[in-house]
A and B are shown apart, each in its own frame.
Chain A
């Protein structure tokens, strides 16, 4: 194998021989100090509509890398995080993944926030036998029907989030739901999952499918009102989710029914006006956990380092990096197959899990089993980041159901 510094030397000679144009493709030259670093490649949509979430994930990972490097890195080697922008485009994401593996020789791949890209990346990492963690792409098949021996996921599946919220909504408001759902795979999975859990509780529903980028919901809200549901379930994502809630509040419908949905994120809540800061939602991690001392300490240190309150996305990034360390120490290796075996059923220690209970990667489907934070979104109370109050901690394993239901058949390489 060519070490980075030898590569750099050769490259310099080449640039001199006037190949400067092609040499543009060369990576930033980082002088290797002491040991060869452990290289982690992270592909995330830093531009495009998911960029806010991606930025937080990368920031969380960077924070964890810095923190670990002060404590001796992974297996005594420093960690180097190489971040690439997938630009929310599958072709680019796949290409960047190949670049990181082929050229930069990374040991591990993280990414992507966009589930479609995460899936396409997992085909590449699987083909090249590279250990791959998906920190924040939610679609079910990644740890379900399309699960792979080298791929692990930190964020919940859409079904887990839906399952956790349904019970709470039924308890609080009633069993009659009206769904507003985006017409694509994510929306369909989400709605099916809600309906499955709602039916189990003896509920009834009506549902409307809308284009993903719907801006105006008045017609649908009129229809919803006529149905007189207990709960309006907003499955839309991004801007559409917010517009739907704004119009719901503007139309004064909050006096007549409850509002909720699967997933809301700190980044999104802060981007919406007060009237849309409402409803019952799931968070995949929440910073305000007075009963867990490790969380308080982490939040304080994170704020000091970055000036920000950590979100679930920051936590995903942090957990991804820390998981590699934990698995590498257990396996005493960075080889994909060994890392993968070490990760299976591996629990996260309290200073990484940052929540109560037993948090671990389930061996059967490689899905992390954390708690799901169900609660109410509200306008800021005191602290500008205090926009969510947890009312219920739902154990992830309960929400996920048995491995057999996920459709995953894990096959390890011989």
Chain B
């Protein structure tokens, strides 16, 4: 039994790591620009498809590096062309805009790559189980977790040590003051949006290797990512990180007792958090109202 629990905790962390990647990107954009990016799952799909196209030329490893960057560039362009026009308006407009974008990107993916799913092959090194005893941990899973750890560490370092990163954090707390200090807030938001899309693109490449490609591939991760943010506490990236891991592990542990409820449990956690601690695990009081 203990062994089974350990197995599932490991598993949950792997799934949670994936939610984290998505949720952090969403959270970044939400915190600085007050925009819920409904198209985030579609940027994930774009990342996956771009990697699929690039792999024959630059290999899986090259694609892993380049595809997220291209996704970020696309995100930057979309932000510059459309999303920044609605920052000053009622939030309903930014929601509708990203909602519409989600439709368009999904349809464009279907138009270009077809409605059929596409397999994405990962290098043989990654496809093998680690050992006979730990047969459920394939190289690819370990690799995914490693990439997520590196990405998350990179993100936190970026926010702490680079000038842009520090400005993003400052902007999250008080955008008016940051603007008054002469920072180009428009550009800051564009860059921030691009970083969010970079994370989505990376998640897309990783997901493509794990579950293959299809135009709807981002849809199923969007809701758990929302919940990770709400549970972790709006406004706190650390909270988002914890929230993602928590719902991942909770889902996996539920599989032991009641497999059919493994999806439901994350909603239950959200309800409990909202009733008991409305601002979320790490959320600051002020961010909510």
Contacts and interface: CB of A to CB of B under 8 A. Distances in A.
A209 B260 contact: yes
B69 interface: no
Contacts of B121: 273-274
Interface stretch (A25-33, A102-110, A216-224): A216-224
A220 B251 CA distance: 13
A270 B110 CA distance: 16
B220 A214 contact: no
Nearest to A253: B135
Interface in B98-154: 107, 110, 114-121, 127-129, 135-136, 138, 140
A211 B263 contact: yes
Interface in B160-211: 211
B106 to A, nearest CB: 9
A220 B129 contact: no
A220 B115 contact: no
Contact of B110 (A47, A219, A272): A47
Interface string A260-299: 0000000110111111000000000000000000000000
Nearest to B11: A218
Given A221-B136, A243-B211, A272-B212, A210 B116 contact: no
Interface string B219-239: 010000000000000000000
B15 interface: yes
A: interface residue count bin: 35 or more
Interface in A180-195: 183
A386 interface: no
A112 to B, nearest CB: 15
A220 B255 contact: yes
B214 interface: yes
Nearest to A276: B119
B117 A272 contact: yes
A52 B262 contact: no
Given A243-B211, A250-B129, A250-B138, A271 B260 contact: no
A270 B116 CA distance: 8
A124 interface: no
B256 A219 contact: yes
A275 B116 contact: no
B135 A216 contact: no
B259 interface: yes
Most buried by B among A214, A253, A267, A268: A214
Nearest to B128: A250
A271 B119 contact: yes
Contacts of B107: 47
Interface of B: 4, 7-8, 11, 14-15, 107, 110, 114-121, 127-129, 135-136, 138, 140, 211-212, 214, 216, 220, 252, 255-256, 259-260, 262-263
Interface of A: 46-49, 51-52, 54-55, 183, 208-211, 213-216, 218-222, 239, 242-243, 247, 250-253, 267-268, 270-275
